[in-house]
Structure 1
Amino acid sequence: MTASSMTASYIKCHLRWKRLIFLLCLGMSTIFFWMTTTWSTKTVLPPCRPFHALCRAFLSASDNQTEWRRRDCQIKSYLTNNTLQCSKLMKDLHFITRPLSAEEEAYPLAFILTVHKELEVLIRLLRAIYTPQNIYCVHVDAKSPPEYKASVQKLVSCFENVFLSSRSETAIYAGFSRLKADLNCMSDLVTSKVSWRKVVNLCGQDFPLMSNLELSPKARDLLEWSRDTYSPDEHYWVTLNHLTEAPGSNIAGGWEGSIRAIKWKDQTGKQHNGCNGRYVRSICVYGLKDLPWLIKKESMFANKFENDFEPEALDCLEQWHRNKLLSHTSVPIEPSWLLATRSNSEHAIA
């Protein structure tokens, strides 16, 4: 072997070793980067917000010293990530996955949710009222941001009985378009395969309980008349609910009822003791100190909450509602249905 060939062989061998070392270092660096990134992602996630001390009286029937711990609470992250596993979402976000009683299974309901913001509040509302025998129509305001619409679309795609309204309105506060949004969902619900018995509107000031969507001539006339009125969704449903001809009507009921608890600013000292949160358009956004009034009120729904204003109030009320829901069920409770656990028992509820 000549000196020149030996030199070439040495150089080739040397380059091969350098390449192997480089690839080894690159691989180790990649693994280290992945581990560091994964570790960092896990550690920077904020821990679950603890329950406020004022919640203890509501969450424990006999012992207000019980410590409740919230479980997985990174709600929005399930919809903002690029990948979405629906089975994981339903389990990790604690959705009820089967009817809680034979009576509820035999009496399915239809729900209309008209939304335009507050993604996390929407998710928490849906999981509070969700059961698989019901059906849910979600109307997203046409002027909502594209990213909000995309997140809601992701959410409803995980459920066979939740869908977006086929037509989206640009809802204007106190305008007819707000009522039209509800009617769009009602038109969709008429064609549903679910034999729902009554429909529940969760975004207007009223809470109609109707066995079907067929309107009498009087209702059609009222609808036309409502086009030019101020905030028609506030009077249309409650008026229909008092017509003799309307299915499921409540003739004897007054304007005030037990459908939705609202603290109107001009009703301070008359219907309630004042808002402990803040007023938005003369409606109280509830704070923690409003919870005793809400629970004592025993209304069907409360309006309203915001995720960025005293979120501890919604935390507490949500857990109180889930505890009551599961305490009345006639089926075995699945661990994934628990929003929080008590420190002295992993599977106990109040």
Structure 2
Amino acid sequence: MWLLKRGSWLLFLKLTVGLGSLWMLYLASHLDTDKVSGFTRSHSWLEYTDEDGGPEKVCNCSGILQRDQESLEQAKLLTLTKTFRKRIQIPDEFYINETQDCRNFKLRRKYLTFPLSKEEEDFPLAYSMVVHHKVQNFERLLRAIYAPQNIYCVHVDKKSAPSVTSAILAITSCFPNVFMVSEAVSVVYAGWSRVQADLNCMADLYNASTKWKYFINLCGQDFPLKTNLEMVRMLQSLKGSNSLESESLPAEKRWRIHYVHNITDGKIKTTKELKKPPPFNLPIKSGSAYIVVSRGYVGSVLKDSKIKELTNWFKDTYSPDELIWATIQRFPGVPGSKWPNRKYDQTDVNAFARLVKWAGHEGSQDSESAVYPECQGNHVRSICVYGAGDLQWLLQNHHFFANKFDTDRDPIAVFCLEKHLRHKALAEAE
């Protein structure tokens, strides 16, 4: 009986939906007929429920997203208890064991293994994900952004613990469009290696597929604020332009490019040797390590001889990841770029790429100097690690991603975001 039903489904699909509906073929061949027919009526079986969460599932996400004080206080008190903090720790070996059966892993974790719309299927994205620890963070980020039409390159720091590398390799091996970078590097904070990690993934992604439209780079503690469809539509509105921070270099940061910097004992050191001026008399711009750029921009980075010369010049600067992409964005002839005149400067607040709360820019709403409200989580290196109380504000912004989240410290913020975005994505599909 099952074979007859399954054969009827496949015949129906071939006759009525054609090649574009790959997602239905997946359903017909991998799930029972009751669930397939249920999908045509509702996406409820793909919703994240409280049962999909860990100890954080006791929190009221609806109340948290509405900034209900009782819900927020409950969440904050929960994160302070020793029992909770112990229960949220997931060892790397868990992911190695769980991915022994990839099909069951993807089903249990409710990965979206089919495009939710033709619009998304026709507008694939490419991701670089640079990771060095916190496997749980990485897996939940991957699940939140995963779609089969997209392509993902994962760079694990060569210094990472063997268990981290093994766990992430096990996860990526379950997906045909997710792969480990062909050449990993040992990343040094504020050194050139951080750029090289993304460059290596850029090259792999560029060579792996000609179909993707935009490149987005992430780190393991990012999390999306938009559904894939929302990002696709916002990128379509750019009409080939890029969206990244690119501003005039502040005076207090000019030392970063005036002196030669070397790596000594795994740390970057400033020397007294002056650097030569940048090639082509190009003004160096200030920006972020995180970008949203077109395939054409990536092609220029990889192939243009002048940009390669500029790239070599950046190799002994301090924190070149916060300079190079912003400067290339103002390089004449680069697809999607802007003129170098400061009238075309774009701040991190206006760019799509990344929303970060810096401690020095936080403040009350009535403060003229404050850029954003005070962090409701904690700070690491002057960056807010978001708590549940930050979610409503985060979702009011237009950015694609926010940084930082830490499931080892406060998984509630991530859990509520996961549920919100999945519900929104499925509602869009219906």
User: Which of 295, 302, 307 is the equivalent residue of 1:211?
Assistant: 295
User: Which of 298, 301, 326 is the equivalent residue of 1:238?
Assistant: 326
Maintained 8 Å contact 1:205/1:260? no
Counterpart mapping for 1:130-141 below 5 A:
130-141=146-157
User: Which of 247, 254, 271 is the equivalent residue of 2:346?
Assistant: 254
1:49 positional shift: 2.7
User: Which of 154, 162, 171 is the equivalent residue of 2:187?
Assistant: 171
3-state DSSP class of the match of 1:111? strand
1:148 positional shift: 0.8
Counterpart mapping for 1:187-336 below 5 A:
187-193=203-209, 195-203=211-219, 205-212=289-296, 213-215=298-300, 216-250=304-338, 252=344, 254-256=346-348, 257=350, 258-269=352-363, 270-329=370-429
Q: Deviations over 1:80-138 (max 9, x none)?
A: 32871000011101100111111111111110000001101101110111111111000
2:101 match: 85
User: Which of 114, 117, 120 is the equivalent residue of 1:98?
Assistant: 114
Maintained 8 Å contact 2:185/2:196? yes
Counterpart mapping for 1:111-122 below 5 A:
111-122=127-138
3-state DSSP class of the match of 1:138? strand
Q: Does 1:49 align with 2:51?
A: no
1:184 match: 200
- 2:383 and 2:146 mapped to 1: Cα distance? 26
3-state DSSP class of the match of 1:261? strand
1:178 positional shift: 0.4
- 2:330 and 2:313 mapped to 1: Cα distance? 17
- 1:312 and 1:244 mapped to 2: Cα distance? 45
1:220 positional shift: 2.2
2:281 match: none
1:146 positional shift: 0.6
3-state DSSP class of the match of 2:56? coil
Maintained 8 Å contact 1:206/1:238? no
In structure 2, do the counterparts of structure 1 residues 98 and 250 end up closer, same or farther at CA, with 3 Å as the change threshold?
farther
Q: Which runs of 5+ in 2 are unaligned?
A: 1-52, 72-88, 220-287, 364-369
Structure 1 stretch displaced more, 306-315 or 201-210: 201-210
Q: Deviations over 1:38-71 (max 9, x none)?
A: xxxxxxxx954325236435389xxx9xxxxxxx
Maintained 8 Å contact 1:110/1:196? yes
Maintained 8 Å contact 1:78/1:84? no
User: Which of 49, 65, 77 is the equivalent residue of 1:58?
Assistant: 65
1:291 positional shift: 1.1
- 2:103 and 2:396 mapped to 1: Cα distance? 36
Counterpart of 2:127, as a letter, is F
1:196 positional shift: 1.3
Percent of residue pairs bearing the same amino acid type: 39
1:221 positional shift: 3.1
Counterpart of 1:305, as a letter, is F
In structure 2, do the counterparts of structure 1 residues 287 and 205 end up closer, same or farther at CA, with 3 Å as the change threshold?
farther
1:248 positional shift: 2.2
Q: Deviations over 1:174-225 (max 9, x none)?
A: 1100000001111111221452121111137322312232224442233122
In structure 2, do the counterparts of structure 1 residues 235 and 306 end up closer, same or farther at CA, with 3 Å as the change threshold?
same
- Tell me the matched-pair count: 274
User: Which of 151, 156, 159 is the equivalent residue of 2:172?
Assistant: 156
Maintained 8 Å contact 2:99/2:174? no
In structure 2, do the counterparts of structure 1 residues 57 and 282 end up closer, same or farther at CA, with 3 Å as the change threshold?
closer
User: Which of 141, 144, 158 is the equivalent residue of 1:142?
Assistant: 158
Larger radius of gyration: 1
- 1:272 and 1:82 mapped to 2: Cα distance? 40
3-state DSSP class of the match of 1:328? helix
- 1:205 and 1:55 mapped to 2: Cα distance? 33
Q: Does 1:127 align with 2:143?
A: yes
- 1:105 and 1:88 mapped to 2: Cα distance? 24
1:110 match: 126
1:273 positional shift: 1.6
- 1:242 and 1:55 mapped to 2: Cα distance? 43
1:21 match: none
Maintained 8 Å contact 2:377/2:385? yes
Relative to the length of structure 2, the TM-score reads 0.59
3-state DSSP class of the match of 1:298? coil
3-state DSSP class of the match of 1:243? coil
In structure 2, do the counterparts of structure 1 residues 105 and 276 end up closer, same or farther at CA, with 3 Å as the change threshold?
same
